Amino acid sequence: GATGDPVATPKVAVVVYLLKGNTVLLGRRRSAVGNSSFALPGGNLEFGESFEECAAREVKEETGLDIEAIELLTVTNNLLIEGPKPLHYVTIFMRSSLANPDQLPQNLEPEKCHGWDWYDWDILPQPLFSPLEKMVHSGFNPFPNTHLD
Ligand code: 8DG
Ligand code: MG
Ligand code: MG
């Protein structure tokens, strides 16, 4: 197809809606892909990992936080053309909560992120990383028991 590269292959990412009250954990990216945009913690699925294992590992590596109640929410297909070469990610979106609600996020990969903070779902920062922006724009809500009146 028009976007096809015979050498490049799609990759799998696992990213986490880490929820606390009505807030979600976001970090501003330092990356060739989506630089300066706000994104969920997450990264590449490693060989042999479950989605839950990858979610817990990436959150721990990037923020130091321990998570629990890790659940699959949905999957999206993302072509990221903003970087030096196009990337194609199949992105697995998980939901989780903090194992210990008193634990604070640390910026453990400062070369990849400006820092982590909790953001009210109704007042999200801008700009959001494109795969996340696409979901929010579609009306997706990661919170359980959300009822629409
Ligand atoms: P790793 O070496 O730790 O495995 O990778 P990383 O450095 O943590 O990778 P990443 O860029 O944070 O995540 C991998 C890809 O996941 C990213 O390039 C595109 C895709 N992705 C989405 N949405 C999101 C999101 O909200 N946050 C993050 N971190 N990645 C996302 O499609
Ligand atoms: Mg990572
Ligand atoms: Mg990451």
pLDDT in tens, 48-59: 999 999 999 999
Q: Strand pairing of 11-20 and 87-98?
A: parallel
What ipTM does the predicted assembly reach? Answer: 0.99
pTM metric for this prediction: 0.95
Instruction: Give the count of beta carbons closer than 10 Å to the beta carbon of residue 118.
Output: 15
Quick one: which H or E segment has residue 54?
Answer: helix 51-63
Q: Which of 129, 132, 136 to mutate to test the pocket of ligand 1 (most atoms within 8 A of CB)?
A: 129
pLDDT for the residue numbered 5: 75
Q: Which of 19, 28, 44, 112 to mutate to test the pocket of ligand 1 (most atoms within 8 A of CB)?
A: 44
Ligand 1: which atom is nearest the Cα of residue 39?
26
User: Which residue has its alpha carbon closest to ligand 1 atom 3?
Assistant: 43
What band does 1 get if pLDDT is binned at 50, 70 and 90? Answer: low
Backbone dihedral angles phi then psi of residue 116, each to the nearest 5 degrees: -110, 145
Residue 148 has pLDDT above 80, yes or no: no
Backbone dihedral angles phi then psi of residue 15, each to the nearest 5 degrees: -130, 160
**56 C-alpha vs ligand 2 centroid, how far in Å?**
11
Locus of tokens 């999957």: 75
